[in-house]
Structure 1
Amino acid sequence: MTLEITRIDPFDAAEVDAWWDAYAAAERADRGADIPVWSREETRNAMQQQSRTLERRPLLLRDGGTVVGAAGLALPLKDNTHVAHLAVHVPPAHRRRGVGSTALDFLEAEAAEAGRTTAQGDTSWPYELGSDGKGAPGREFARRHGYALALGDVQNRLALPLDLEVLDRIDADIAAATRGYSVRSWIGPVPDDVVEGWAILDASIDTEAPSGDLDIAPAKPDVESIREQEELLVRQNRLPIGTVALTPEGQVAAYTQLVVSGDDGNAYQWGTLVRRADRGHRLGTAVKIANLRLLQHRAPHAPAVYTYNAESNAHMLAVNTLLGFVPTERMGELQKHLA
């Protein structure tokens, strides 16, 4: 086998289609035919984005003109610029031939040439396999190539529609704890008068939430980055739904965001965080409930909400259990030091 690794033109429809076909085939083979993956058009629009915060390098893997896999390198440009995010997707028909290993070596070399010293990636496996993922193809591939499990996550799924009476009961239970705070929700971009507070929480979520052994530092709050992300959501036909809890002085004490895919119809939980000074007031529960109410009003036919949380994040997992989420899958955040 002579593996050809080429960077694709994100505006070449055929190349993007070939990349997505390999990616989706590999993911579904390992995780199940019904698992949620980025849609073809969501992927295409992300590849085409001219971002000031992230450089994306999508790559096709070919053997004699036949596409045998897809890969990707993502390089943060604003924060954690010592990190490179790597991804390799090889459909089952092309495995056990060195395709994945050769592609990973290539990605690591590209990352090192770009001055990155830490390589990170992720892989998912059935919940029943346990925290280590022993036996799962992606986990074993990563293990063989020196990638440690830096953080273990649990995917949880909430079937919709929700019984609103359940939300009413939880609201009543937390009313005393949240007294003095106000909750505000919206659909679409974050309102200008709260976006700075939102950006502060969003920038710190990767390090304020449990981060295990991940080699990352807090990001710098940046409203422009929030707006760039919102522009991409519009192009991807994704609908953001946001909620904040505000102090009596109008400061953002907590935030949460759901993003509804216009392609598969599911809602995906993005960040949820409560400011340290305001913890202990059940604000995480309060903002999630308000967001779920708005979700059911705006997207009543959404089949489910998917969320990921660190397995060590007992508090947020307890909130999810209270709301009716059930564990469905695990994800390992993997890491290898290149220098």
Structure 2
Amino acid sequence: MTSFTVEELTIPDAIGDDDASDFIETIEVRNSIEAASYGTSELTMTAAETLPYWLDREHAPRRLFGVRIDGRIVGRAYYERNVADDDRVAWSTVEVLPDQRRRGIGTALADTVEQLARSDSRQRLLVYVVSPDGPGERLTAATGFGTVPLANPEVRFLLSRGFTLEQIERGSRLALPLDGERLRDWVAEASERAGDDYAVHSWVGRVPERWRDDMATLFTRMSTDAPSAGLAEPEDPWTAQRVSDDDDRHEANPRTLLTAVVEHVPSGRLVGYTSLSVPPEVDRAVSQEDTLVLREHRGHRLGMLLKVANLDILQRERPGHPSVITFNAEENRHMLQVNEDVGFTPIGYEGAWRKSLS
């Protein structure tokens, strides 16, 4: 068996720093595995685009681990937790290049993050893992929506370690460009359905100061209102200051964030939002980030209104990209229907797995 050790790697403050090379290499590992699993390179992220998500050390600290073979990083794992006193959840990912598997590397990395979660007094460990399609018997998620191939190696690995498949996330792709006239018709139809009580606003980049408190509420509710099956995802509280700090970190991100929000006019409060993350290279796919409508304001086609309004902004302000990629829980039938109505088609599935550490 090949000899190796698991080592903790440095998370740099900036991609140009002298200590950034290991981090950059782990992102290349991630991109190789995503491309092999989904059969497309459209999910590729650069290290510069990824780093801002790693730098929120105050609210969501992460640790990064790697394994080298002949000086090359061939596997990585990360560990993340929230800092709330009553939070007993941790998240992790373990990834090993296909040609380096079955050498014990994945097991060693998984042991490392699990031991870390136990030492942090975590009660649940959550992981999201892509499962390419395959033949044979299927394993159904606890929600009853979606399956993964039971014979897949990642499925057997997680089951052997005591994980339960709680949820399936569908990855979907929208080919661009959309017909501009049809898109504007969708916006008009959704606006008419929403009625005069709701108004759409949008911005590029930072959250305007007047909306920071409302966006903090929406970001917090995203952690509790989105379908999470038996994962029991904890509340992730946001404040206006955290929103501003997050914008500060993302100013180094070469991607542009396009955000559309919907205001409940009688109250003057924001009740829904959606964001698109746009890479600088026009030949790369756009990422659909979170979309949320508060529970108490659902039933007015606001999700559809937000999606098509922001797609219209994308095509007017940042035209030329080949596609938009999005992810949704399989049981979130309403949002999946919105996506399908617009033209999204499935490209793959990943399982959301839970392990009890108590």
Q: TM-score, normalised by structure 2?
A: 0.87
Which secondary structure does the structure 1 equivalent of 2:218 belong to? helix
2:50 paired with 1:31: no
Q: Give the superposition deviation at 1:316.
A: 0.6
Match of 1:5 in 2: 6
2:193 paired with 1:177: yes
- Structure 1 residues 15-26: aligned runs within 5 Å: 15-26=22-33
Matched to 1:163, the amino acid is D
Which secondary structure does the structure 2 equivalent of 1:235 belong to? coil
Which secondary structure does the structure 2 equivalent of 1:85 belong to? strand
Residue 256 of structure 1, aligned match among 259, 274, 288: 274
Matched to 1:4, the amino acid is T
The 1:230–1:196 alpha-carbon spacing in structure 2 relative to 1, beyond 3 Å, is same
| Distance of 1:99 and 1:252 partners within structure 2 | 47
| Distance of 1:45 and 1:196 partners within structure 2 | 22
Q: Deviations over 1:151-173 (max 9, x none)?
A: 21111111111112222332343
Q: Deviations over 1:315-334 (max 9, x none)?
A: 11111111111111112111
RMSD over equivalenced CA pairs, Å: 2.2
Which secondary structure does the structure 2 equivalent of 1:244 belong to? strand
Match of 2:141 in 1: none
Which secondary structure does the structure 2 equivalent of 1:183 belong to? strand
CA contact (8 A) 1:90 1:100 kept: yes
Q: Give the superposition deviation at 1:73.
A: 1.0
2:109 paired with 1:103: yes
Residue 226 of structure 2, aligned match among 205, 209, 230: 209
Residue 317 of structure 1, aligned match among 332, 336, 339: 336
The 1:80–1:203 alpha-carbon spacing in structure 2 relative to 1, beyond 3 Å, is farther
The 1:168–1:187 alpha-carbon spacing in structure 2 relative to 1, beyond 3 Å, is same
The 1:80–1:137 alpha-carbon spacing in structure 2 relative to 1, beyond 3 Å, is farther
Match of 1:71 in 2: 77
Matched to 1:195, the amino acid is R
Match of 2:15 in 1: none
Match of 1:148 in 2: 164
Greater shift, 177-186 or 61-70, is seen at 61-70
The 1:79–1:239 alpha-carbon spacing in structure 2 relative to 1, beyond 3 Å, is farther
Gaps of 5+ in 1: none
Q: Give the superposition deviation at 1:45.
A: 4.7
Match of 1:84 in 2: 90
Q: Deviations over 1:228-281 (max 9, x none)?
A: 332332222121111111122311122111111236732211121112222211
CA contact (8 A) 1:184 1:245 kept: yes
Residue 240 of structure 2, aligned match among 196, 202, 223: 223
> Number of paired residues?
338
Match of 1:234 in 2: 251
| Distance of 2:123 and 2:346 partners within structure 1 | 34
CA contact (8 A) 2:262 2:302 kept: yes
| Distance of 2:86 and 2:186 partners within structure 1 | 38
Q: Deviations over 1:141-192 (max 9, x none)?
A: 2222221112211111111111122223323433432111111111111112
Q: Give the superposition deviation at 1:76.
A: 1.6
Which secondary structure does the structure 2 equivalent of 1:25 belong to? helix
Match of 1:168 in 2: 184
Q: Give the superposition deviation at 1:63.
A: 4.8
Which secondary structure does the structure 2 equivalent of 1:300 belong to? coil
CA contact (8 A) 2:31 2:43 kept: no
Q: Give the superposition deviation at 1:60.
A: 1.3
Match of 2:59 in 1: 53
Gaps of 5+ in 2: 13-18, 139-145
Q: TM-score, normalised by structure 1?
A: 0.91
CA contact (8 A) 2:225 2:294 kept: no
Match of 1:115 in 2: 121
Which secondary structure does the structure 2 equivalent of 1:139 belong to? helix
Which secondary structure does the structure 1 equivalent of 2:5 belong to? strand
